Copies of this chain bind each other. A is one copy, B any other.
Amino acid sequence: MKNYTSINDISDINDWIAEAKELKANPLQNIELGKNKTLGLLFFNSSLRTRLSTQKAALNLGMEPIVMNVSGDAWGIEFEDGTVMNGSTAEHIKEAAAVVSQYCDVIAVRAFPSLTDKQKDESEQILSAFVKHASVPIISMESATGHPLQGLTDAITISENSNKKKVKVVLSWAPHIKPLPHAVANSFTQAMQKMDVEFVIANPIGYNLNKEITKDTPIYHNQEEAFKNADFVYAKNWSSYESYGEILDVDDNWTITKDKIGDAKFMHCLPVRRNVVVEDAVLDSENSLVITQANNRTYAAQLVLKKILENV
* Interface residues in A, total, Cβ within 8 A: 59
How far apart sit A99 and B274, CA to CA, in the bound complex (Å)? Answer: 15
Known: A84-B275, A270-B91, A272-B91. A102 touches B48 (CB 8 A): no
Question: Closest chain B residue to A58 by CB distance?
Answer: B64
Q: Which of B31, B55, B86, B297 contacts A66 (CB 8 A)?
A: B55
CA A53 – CA B83 in complex, angstroms?
28
Q: Which residue of B lies closest to A95 (CB)?
A: B270
- Verify if A85 is at the interface (C-beta below 8 Å from B): yes
Chain B: which residue is nearest A96 at the CB level? Answer: B271
User: Most chain-B CB neighbours within 10 Å: which of A31, A86, A271, A298?
Assistant: A271
Q: Does A261 contact B (CB under 8 A)?
A: no
A36 CB within 8 Å of chain B:
yes
- Residues of chain B within 8 A of A83, CB atoms compared: 274-275
A38 to B58 alpha-carbon distance, docked (Å): 12
7 closest Cβ pairs, A-B complex: A91-B271, A85-B273, A52-B103, A84-B275, A102-B295, A99-B294, A56-B103
Min Cβ gap A68→B in Å is 7
Which of A74-82, A122-130, A205-213, A241-249 forms contacts with chain B?
A74-82
16 chain-A/chain-B pairs, Cβ below 8 angstroms: A31-B36, A38-B56, A48-B75, A48-B99, A52-B102, A55-B66, A59-B64, A81-B280, A82-B280, A83-B275, A84-B274, A90-B271, A92-B272, A102-B291, A102-B294, A102-B297
Residues of B within 8 A of A273 (CB): 85-86, 89-91
Given contacts A38-B59, A56-B38, A102-B295, is CB(A86)–CB(B49) below 8 Å? Answer: no
- A92: B residues at CB distance < 8 A: 272, 274
Q: Show the binding face of A for B, using Cβ within 8 Å.
A: 28, 31, 36, 38, 40, 46, 48-49, 51-53, 55-56, 59-60, 64, 66, 68, 70, 74-75, 78, 81-87, 89-92, 94-96, 98-100, 102-104, 177, 270-276, 280, 283-284, 290-291, 294-295, 297-298
A113 to chain B, nearest CB (A): 18
In the assembled complex, the CB of A33 is this many whole angstroms from the nearest CB of chain B, namely 14
A102-B68 in contact (CB<8A): no
CA distance A31 to B35 in the complex (A): 12
Closest chain B residue to A60 by CB distance? B36
By the criterion CB–CB under 8 Å, are B46 and A99 in contact? no
